[in-house]
Amino acid sequence: MITANLYIRVSTDEQAEKGYSQRNQEEVLRKYCEIKSIQVGKVFYEDHSAKTFQRPSWNSLLVDLRRRKGQTDLVLFTKWDRFSRNVGDAYHMIGLLRKWGVEPQAIEQPLDMEIPESKIMLAFYLAAPEVENDRRGLNIFWGLRRARKEGRWINTAPLGYANLCHENGKKYIAPVEPAASLIKQAFEELAKGDYSAAQIHQQLAERGLATKLTNFYDLIRNPVYCGKIVVPKYKEEEEHWVPGLHKPLISESLFHQVQDVLNGRSREKPAVKISSDELLPLRGFLQCPRCTRLLTGSASKGRKHYYSYYHCSSSCGIRFKADQVNASFKLELEQYFPREDCSEYYVELLVKAFKDNGSDELDERKKVLGEIAALGKKLSDARELLLSGSFTEGDFRAVKLECEKRIAVLESRLPELSKVAVNIRGDLVKAVSKMQLIESQFSNGEMWRKRAIIGSIFPENLCFDGEGHRTARVNDIAWNIGLINSELRSKKKREELGFSSLPASVVWAGIEPATHGFSVHCSTD
């Protein structure tokens, strides 16, 4: 008596779209075997695609056929597209089964393999579903590519966004808190170059950013956060960005600034260690006065207590008591705390300094426009060389791609440089009010906040010489407030203080670098 194994395959999408079901196929196959007096051996159920034969149940069927070689005559299925949707793989598998003495057969599309012409019909039965698969895949590919070019995000929403749907059924992504704010802070911190990406990830993870470090590296490289959608390269069309329909979390100029830092083109100093003992907040910020290495810190056990020290890791022997260094640093820091009763004077002087030095941004804008014009000329010259035959099409495409990428980066900076500081006074009022909170935040805040304040006010390393601290540079606003404070301290009587008596030589480097230093660190959240 002829024995047959039944193979029943249906994928999830086919069951939903065409109504195929495993139960229906099994019923049809068993009825066929009953009519033909075929004994049913094993039944194998499959829910994987037929694009290849790398399917769990099919592999189990092959194992069973090899183990019981000669005991099975047929492998039955309803149609040939249940067997395979790939012509080449199907012919190879048919040859393998026939070598084992097993005949594959579709009961609704029966073929007599002994008749040579049957191979023509077999090719048709196998090729038709393969063509259908390829056409469906091509339609999906072009649909997704068209959606990207329209500025739509087509995947699961990236961290900081959520997948939402309009009333008309169109899907979109929108920022979701608190992840959106934390990601924005990540870009702002990375742009400064003070800490590495791993250190910033550690800090933000403690504040609730739920992502692994490997995903964080992908996140900070993703232009979706500056409002751009990437259209991948395809054939002759190069990869390019298009404006997205979603709301960006950061500006395009900030995104490019972060990429420069990550690529090592915009880093002024090595990152400092972010983790630190509660008694050693300055670890990683202090420079050895002898060998210029960064001082580390540790605790030594006395008779009854542990005593903390900052010390050099080299053989120079520098070693300072942490209590002495911390107390000296706090005195240094206090000179940059604004007085609550003098907020008006700080703002007035800083506004005046900005007005006196406001031409820097115009010069920077002219410089950027000049670079854009030079790149445009370079592209035009390359086009002329292509037309004259001096350039190949490949050479021109390479120059064109390089120029367009650089022009896009420069153009992203123009909106920031074009901003007129009409509300400079309001920005400075906020900055001064936040700086008035630094003293309490540094004294009572968590360790990460203390270290953030240190890094904001002192962009470069400090050096303790045994008596006091020295630093090469101080944050612009903090430095100006320190100058004003020194003038205020020289006044013996508060009532004699007037605006005209305040220092006129306030140093200024532009409003954006100064306020940027306090966008995160001095937050009262």
pLDDT at position 266, please?
Answer: 54
pLDDT value of residue 419: 55
- CA–CA dist 69, 5 (Å, integer): 13
Question: What is the rounded average pLDDT of the residues 44-52?
Answer: 85
* Residue 358: per-residue pLDDT: 55
The alpha carbon dihedral of 123, 129, 133, 135 has a sign of positive
Q: In whole angstroms, what is the distance from residue 508 CA to residue 422 CA? A: 18
Q: Would the pLDDT of 339 be above 70?
A: yes
CA dist 477 → 119, 431, 434, 510, 518 (Å)? 84, 9, 12, 10, 9
pLDDT band at 508 (very low <50, low <70, confident <90, very high): very low
Contact 385, 339 (CB under 8 A): no
Helices (H) and strands (E) in the chain, counts: 19, 14
Tokens representing 196? 């590495």
The 10s digit of each residue's pLDDT in 232-288 is 988 878 888 899 999 999 998 889 888 888 887 554 454 444 445 678 888 878 888
What confidence score (pLDDT) does residue 418 get? Answer: 58
Q: What whole-number distance in Å separates Cα of residue 509 and Cα of residue 205?
A: 33
Residue 447 pLDDT greater than 70, yes or no:
yes
pTM tops 0.85, yes or no: no
| Percent of all residues in the chain with a pLDDT value above 70, rounded to a whole number | 84
**283 in helix, strand or coil?**
coil
Q: How confident is the model at residue 523 (pLDDT cuts 50, 70, 90)?
A: very low
User: What is the number of alpha carbons within 13 Å of residue 26 lying toward its C-beta?
Assistant: 11
DSSP annotation string for 470-488: EES---HHHHHHHHHHHHH
Give the best-scoring range by mean pLDDT among 27-36, 346-355, 363-372, 448-457.
27-36
pLDDT of 43 > 90? The answer is yes
Report all structural domains of the chain as residue ranges with CATH numbers, in order of start. Answer: 3-136 (3.40.50.1390), 335-525 (no CATH)
Distance between CA atoms of 375 and 366, rounded to whole angstroms? Answer: 14
Q: What percent of the chain has pLDDT over 90?
A: 17
Helices (H), 36-86: 56-67, 80-83
